[in-house]
Amino acid sequence: MTCREIAGALTLTVVWFGVTVSALAQTAPEFVPEFKLLCHPTEPVRDVPPDDPSADPFGNGPWYLNEDRSIWAAWQPLVSGKAGNRIMWIKPPGLKIRITGRRLDGEAPPLEVERNAAYLSKGFEPNRLHFPVPGCWEVTATSGEEELVFVVEVKAPREGS
């Protein structure tokens, strides 16, 4: 095959391909990409938090914990809705823990926290987190100068729950 024949064949192929793509674009349904933020939940760890003299041992988790291990949050599958999710927090004794949350993959009202003030002097605090809608959520807990931030995927409650 000569160079002229090869060039002719390539031109014919390009023209044919261009017509085919052009024809497909006119007859194919409109493609609208859906961009959805992928949720990358924080990996919980198995470890044993410090003992508190006024509580039974807390067990080896799994837990979310900050770098200096001053704030711990018990891991569990989380659901949205009014029932809430009971969470055990380990915190510096005598300090309040402030918990906030925001949805990362869409608009939503903020996380609501139901707490019991009787645990202020303790090194732990059980409370209930109410996520208003399912989705990818960032939870931030601060106590004194310490902070714990983790990401969780909140599911819709099961039918009948």
Q: Distance between CA 90 and CA 99 in Å, rounded?
A: 13
Give residue 84's pLDDT: 94
What's the confidence (pLDDT) of residue 63? Answer: 98
Q: What b/e sequence results for 45-74 when a residue is b if at least 16 CB atoms lie within 10 Å of its CB, and e otherwise? A: eeeebeeeeeeeebeebebbbbeeebbbbb
Confidence of residue 161 (pLDDT cuts 50, 70, 90): low
Query: Residues 34-60: pLDDT tens digits?
Result: 445 689 999 999 999 988 888 898 999
Pick the CATH number of 63-155 from 3.40.640.10, 3.40.50.1970, 1.10.3720.10, 2.60.40.10: 2.60.40.10
**pLDDT value at residue 16:** 38
pLDDT at 158: 85
State the maximum Cα–Cα separation within the chain, in Å, rounded to a whole number.
91
Tens of pLDDT, residues 16-38: 334 443 444 455 455 444 445 68
Q: Which of 4-8, 130-134, 136-140 has the lowest mean pLDDT?
A: 4-8
What pTM was estimated for this model as a whole?
0.75
21 SS3 class: helix
- Chain CA centroid to CA 82, Å: 19
pLDDT per residue over 86-122, tens digit each? Answer: 999 999 988 999 999 999 999 999 999 998 877 878 8
Among 118, 138, 140, 123, residue whose Cα is nearest residue 88: 123
d(CA 161, CA 118): 29
